[in-house]
A and B are shown apart, each in its own frame.
Chain A
Amino acid sequence: MNNPTHDTHWLYTISPKRSAINLNFKEIWQYRDLLTLFVKRDVITAYKQTVLGPLWYLIQPLFTSITFTIIFNNLAGIDTGTVPPFLFNLAGITIWNYFTSCLTGTSNTFGANASIFGKVYFPRIITPLSLVISNLLKFGIQLLIFIVFYLYFYFQGAAISLNGFILLFPVVVVLMGTLGLGFGMIISSMVTKYRDLNYLVGFGVQLLMYISAVVYPMALVEQKMPDFVWLVKYNPLAYIIETTRYMVLNIGALPYWGLVYTFIITVAVFFMGLLLFNKTEKSFIDTV
Chain B
Amino acid sequence: MNDIILKAENISKQYRLGVVGTGTISHDLNRWWHRIRGKEDPYLKIGDTNDRTTKGESSYVWALKAINFEVKRGEVLGIIGKNGAGKSTLLKILSRVTTPTTGEIKFGGRVASLLEVGTGFNGEMTGRENIYLNGAILGMTKKEITSKLDEIIDFSGCERYIDTPVKRYSSGMTVRLAFAVAAFLEPEILIIDEVLAVGDAEFQKKAIGKMQDISRGEGRTVLFVSHNMAAVKSLCTRAILLENGLITKEGDVEEIITHYLNLESERLVYHETDLYKLKEVAILNSEKKRVSNISNGEDFYIDIALSIKQNKPDIGFCVAIYNELHELITAINSYHINSAIGNLAVGNYNFTIKINKYILNTGIYTLNFHTNNSHGKLYNLFEGVTKLNIYDDGIRRGDNYKGEWPGKISLVPNIVIHEII
Contacts and interface: CB of A to CB of B under 8 A. Distances in A.
A39 to B, nearest CB: 11
A250 to B, nearest CB: 43
A278 to B, nearest CB: 12
Interface string A254-288: 00000000000000000000000000001101110
A287 B98 CA distance: 10
Interface stretch (A68-76, A111-119, A131-139): A111-119
Nearest to A7: B106
A119 B111 CA distance: 13
Contact of B95 (A13, A121, A194, A286): A121
A120 B137 contact: yes
Interface residues of B, number: 47
B103 A45 contact: no
Given A41-B125, A193-B21, A286 B116 contact: no
Interface in A182-210: 193-195
B70 interface: yes
Nearest to B15: A286
B246 to A, nearest CB: 19
A34 B136 contact: yes
Contacts of B348: none
A45 B125 CA distance: 7
Contact of A6 (B4, B21, B103, B141): B4
A16 B100 contact: yes
A218 to B, nearest CB: 38
A9 interface: yes
B140 to A, nearest CB: 8
A7 B7 CA distance: 10
A14 interface: yes
A41 B122 contact: yes
Contacts of A31: 136, 139
Interface in A1-43: 1, 3, 6-7, 9-16, 30-31, 33-34, 36-38, 40-41
A133 to B, nearest CB: 15
A260 B28 CA distance: 36
Contacts of B105: 13-15
Interface string A93-118: 00000000000000000000001111
B20 A287 contact: yes
Interface string A76-90: 000000000000000
Contact of A11 (B92, B108, B125, B139): B108
B110 interface: yes
B119 A6 contact: no
Contact of A14 (B28, B99, B142): B99
A121 B96 contact: yes
Given A34-B136, A285-B92, A120 B106 contact: no
A168 interface: no
B125 A44 contact: yes
Nearest to B123: A45
Which of B20, B21, B106, B110 has the most C-beta atoms of chain A within 10 angstroms of its own C-beta?
A: B106
A120 B103 contact: no
A48 interface: yes
B24 interface: yes
B337 interface: no
Contact of B97 (A9, A38, A48, A121): A121
Given A45-B125, A119-B119, A282 B24 contact: no
B34 to A, nearest CB: 16
Nearest to B101: A16
B138 interface: yes
B133 interface: yes
Interface in A120-160: 120-122
Which of A10, A38, A40, A287 has the most C-beta atoms of chain B within 10 angstroms of its own C-beta?
A: A10
Nearest to A113: B120
A120 B108 contact: no
B3 interface: yes
A16 B99 contact: yes
A157 B34 CA distance: 68
Contacts of A36: 142
Contacts of B116: 119
B394 interface: no
A122 B107 contact: no
A162 to B, nearest CB: 39
B110 A11 contact: yes
B142 A6 contact: no
Nearest to B120: A116
Which of B4, B95, B97, B122 has the most C-beta atoms of chain A within 10 angstroms of its own C-beta?
A: B97
A16 B120 CA distance: 27
18 contacts: A6-B3, A11-B107, A12-B107, A13-B104, A14-B105, A14-B107, A15-B99, A31-B136, A33-B142, A34-B137, A38-B133, A40-B129, A45-B122, A118-B97, A120-B120, A195-B21, A287-B20, A287-B21
Interface of A: 1, 3, 6-7, 9-16, 30-31, 33-34, 36-38, 40-41, 44-45, 48-49, 115-122, 193-195, 282-283, 285-287
Interface of B: 3-4, 15, 20-21, 24-25, 28, 70, 92-111, 113, 115-116, 119-120, 122, 124-125, 129, 132-133, 136-142
Given A14-B105, A16-B101, A193-B28, 14 more contacts: A1-B70, A6-B108, A10-B107, A33-B136, A34-B136, A45-B124, A119-B97, A120-B119, A120-B120, A122-B137, A283-B98, A285-B92, A286-B20, A287-B20
The 3 tightest CB contacts between A and B, nearest first, are: A121-B96, A15-B104, A34-B136
